[in-house]
Each structure stands twice: as structure tokens, then as C-alpha cells.
Amino acid sequence: MAVFILKRLAQVIPVILGVTLVVFLIMQMVPGDSAVILAGEGASEQTIEDLRESLGLNKPIYVQYFDYIKGVVQGDFGNSLKNGKPVLEEISTRLPITFELAMYSIAITIILGLIAGIVSAIRPYSWLDMSFMVIALLGISLPSFWLGILLMYTFAINLGWLPVAGWESPMHIILPAITLGAGGAAIVARMTRSSMLEVVNQDFIRTAKAKGLKGYVIIFKHALRNAMIPVITVVGLQFGSLLGGTVLVESVFAVNGLGRMIVDAIRTRDLPVVQGGVLVASLIFVFVNLIVDILYRVFNKRIDLN
């Protein structure tokens, strides 16, 4: 197991380097000269030249990349072009909010998804199963930003039960978390159902029945444990779309998280902030995937055979 974790860690390093390279290169694609933008309108030729010098923009591109990596490792993501403050500072105030939102959403994804999936699998083709699967299909088809607006209109504006937007009280968390978690819940429900139905037809379930085990023991002890193996991977992948989804959902509900920071920064062309935000979100995702892989390994020891 320890060997496996070390091996996976070794595999993660090139991916992280790749991610930093891609982020770095994308920012190089920006038309125009960052020094000119940074210096602001009407700056003198000398100011621009000095800026270029101090930012290292006249060095060869690979040196710039190494400088960038060096900075990132030391927690230096550069400074915002808008207010000159370090990007890391901005990220560290925004990240906890997004983290909280993501945790509630993933909880909704897992709990709702598992319950619906299991209930559907226990009674396949029943009306309950059919309605859950129709809802799940709608869940993966509704754009999160529209679902957010619908929920906001219904529960905040029309019924007035919940606050419209912002991030001040636990009440504020409910709608964004549901909006963000719904799509994932739908996917987890579909996956759990099909995985359970597949497992239920396996030989070892027949063995469990032949032993005279009770129905719920067969489902929760013998079937679910096996059915969970593919579901774990799906939940891991879902975490990625969820992180990406914060961009939309935080914008809908005016939550000052990392996602909204990135969108605002793109609008104002504050590239170091975009760069830092995208990089941090991606690194989190890589890390989550690593954990999911290890969990998958713990649950599914059979891959030792291959």
C-alpha cells in the first residue's frame, strides 16, 4: 500500500508540472504586452521598460517559466494588476468560502445520489425507480446556472423562505449548495443504480441468498460494498465538475468565492489573479483525485491480481 501511494505521488508530480506549464503558456497567448497593460495608459517608454525589466519579461520564455515555478513553490503567485496586492492573499480569503460550498455540495451529491440510486436498484422499473431516474435525467440536463435562478426565484423571491444571494448565514448556503450538488447527485444516482443492478446479478449474491441471509444484509453488506467501487471514481470526477461549477453558481448567488474571483478577474483582465485561481483549483482537484485513487485501491483489492 505504501509503495502504491509513493508510486501515485510520483505520477502526480509530472501532472502538476504540466498544469503549471499549461497555465503559464495560456497566459503567454494573451495578445498585447503585459508590461504595457500593467503600466497603465499614457505611461512613458521608460516606465514600461523598467517594468519589463523588474517582471523579467525580457528574459527567454523558459527562464520566465522557471521563475514562475520558483515563485509558485514559494507561494508567490504575483500581484493583482488591479490593486497590486499579492494574488495569494486574495486567494486565501476566497478559498475557504469555496471550500465550504464545495463540501456541502459534495455531501448533497453523495447522500442524495446514493439514496436515490439504492432505492431505484432495490425496486428496478417500479414507479419510484422511474421517477427517480427521470428526475436524475433532468438533473444532468438542467444548466446549473438556470437551476440556481429557478431555485432563487421560487424559494427566495417568491416564497421568501431563503435569502436571495450572499454568504452571511447558514441559510445562505442552502440554495447554492443544492444548485451545485444537484447535477452530481443525478450522476451518482444513475451510477449507483446501474452498478447495484450489475452486482445483484453476480454469483456471490446468489451464494448469499443460498446461505439464507436476510434481504437487507444482502443489499447493504454484500451488494453495496461491491457496487461502491465504481461509484467512488464517479464521485471523484464529480468533484472536478463541482469545482468548475463554483464559477457559475458563485456568480448566480453572488458568493465571494474563488470561482467568482476568477470570473471577475477575467472581466477586468487581471491575469495574475486568473492564473493563480485556476492553478489553485486545479491543484486541489489533482490532490482530490489522488485521495480518490487511494480510496479506490482500499475498497478494491482485487486489482492486485492484475
Partner 1 sequence: MEQQKVLEVKNLKTHFFTKEGVSKAVDGVSFYLNKGETIGVVGESGCGKSMTSLSILNLIPSPPGKIVEGEILLHGKNIVGLPQEELRQIRGKKISMIFQEPMTSLNPVITVGEQIAETIRLHEKLPRKQAWDKAVEMLRIVGIPSPEKRAKQEPYQLSGGMRQRVMIAMALACSPDVLIADEPTTALDVTIQAQILEILKDLQQKMGMSIIFITHDLGVVSEMCDKVAVMYAGQVIEEGATEELFEQPLHPYTRGLIDSLPKLYEEQDELQTIEGSVPSPYKYPVGCRYADRCPFARDLCREAQPELIEMAKGRKVRCYQYSEKWNLQESGEL
Partner 2 sequence: MSENVQAATLSQVRSQVKKKKRKELWQKIYSNKAALAGLIILSIYALMLIFGPLLSPYDPYEIDLQNKLQGPTLDHLMGTDDKGRDILSRILYGSYLTLGVGFSAVLFGGSVGILLGLVAGYYGGKIDSIISRLIDVMLAFPGILLALAIVSALGTSLINVTIAVGFFSIPMFARIVRGSTMEVKKLEYIDAVRTLGANNVIILFRHILPNILSPIIIQASMRLATAILSAAGLSFLGLGAQPPSPEWGAMLSAGRDFLFNAPHMALFPGIMISFLVLGLNLLGDGLRDALDPRMKA
List of residues contacting partner 2 (CB under 8 A): 14-16, 18-19, 21-23, 26-27, 29-31, 137-138, 140-146, 149-150, 152-153, 157, 190, 193-194, 197, 239-245, 247-248, 251-252, 262-263, 265-267, 269, 271, 274-275, 278, 281-282, 284-286, 289
Q: Give the count of beta carbons closer than 10 Å to the beta carbon of residue 28.
A: 10
Q: Is 211 in the site for partner 1 (CB under 8 A)?
A: yes
- The answer to whether residue 210 forms part of the interface with partner 1 (CB under 8 A) is yes
Cell reading at 207: 451464494
Interaction partner, residue 4 (partner 1, partner 2, none; CB < 5-8 Å by kind): none
- Rounded Cα distance between 64 and 1, Å, is 39
Please say which residue, 135 or 213, places its beta carbon nearer to partner 2: 135
Supply 119's cell numbers. Answer: 432505492
What are the Cα distances from residue 262, in Å, to 62, 176, 183, 246, 257?
26, 18, 22, 10, 9
Query: Is residue 222 near partner 1 by the rule CB under 8 A?
Result: yes
Name which position in 66, 146, 161, 204 contacts partner 1 (CB under 8 A).
Answer: 204
- Residue 204 touches which of partner 1, partner 2, none (CB < 5 to 8 A by kind)? partner 1
Interface with partner 1, residue 301, by CB under 8 A: yes
Rg from Cα positions in the chain? 24
Tell me the window of 38-46, 79-87, 108-116, 211-219 that interacts with partner 1 (CB under 8 A).
211-219
245 binds, among partner 2, partner 1, none (CB under 5 to 8 A by kind): partner 2
Contact 101, 260 (CB under 8 A): no
In sequence order, the 6+-apart residues with CB closer than 8 A to the CB of 195 are 117, 227, 228, 229, 230, 231
Q: Does 217 bind partner 1 (CB under 8 A)?
A: yes
Closest to partner 1 by CB, 3 or 210: 210
Q: And the C-alpha cell for 53? A: 525589466
Other C-beta atoms within 10 Å of 189: how many? 29
Question: Quick one: 9 or 130, whose CB is closer to partner 1?
Answer: 130
Q: Return the number of the residue (26 or 303) whose C-beta is nearest partner 2.
A: 26
What distance in Å separates the CA atoms of residue 237 and residue 224, rounded to the nearest whole number?
20
Report the SS3 class of residue 27. helix
Q: HEC string of 76-96? A: CCCECCCCCCEHHHHHHHHHH
Residue 76: Cβ within 10 Å count:
15
Contact segment (CB under 8 A) with partner 1 among 4-12, 215-223, 242-250, 270-278 equals: 215-223
Closer residue to partner 2 (CB): 47 or 251? 251
Report how far residue 3's alpha carbon sits from residue 24's, in angstroms, rounded to the nearest whole number.
Answer: 32
d(CA 277, CA 194) in angstroms, rounded, equals 36
> Nearest distance from residue 141's CB to partner 2, in Å?
4
User: Which position among 206, 254, 268, 287 is part of the footprint of partner 1 (CB under 8 A)?
Assistant: 206
* Residue 305 interface partner, choices partner 2, partner 1, none, CB cut-off 5-8 Å depending on type: partner 1
Q: Is 146 in the site for partner 1 (CB under 8 A)?
A: no
Query: Interface with partner 1 by CB under 8 A: which residues?
Result: 201-204, 206-214, 217, 221-222, 225-226, 299-302, 304-305
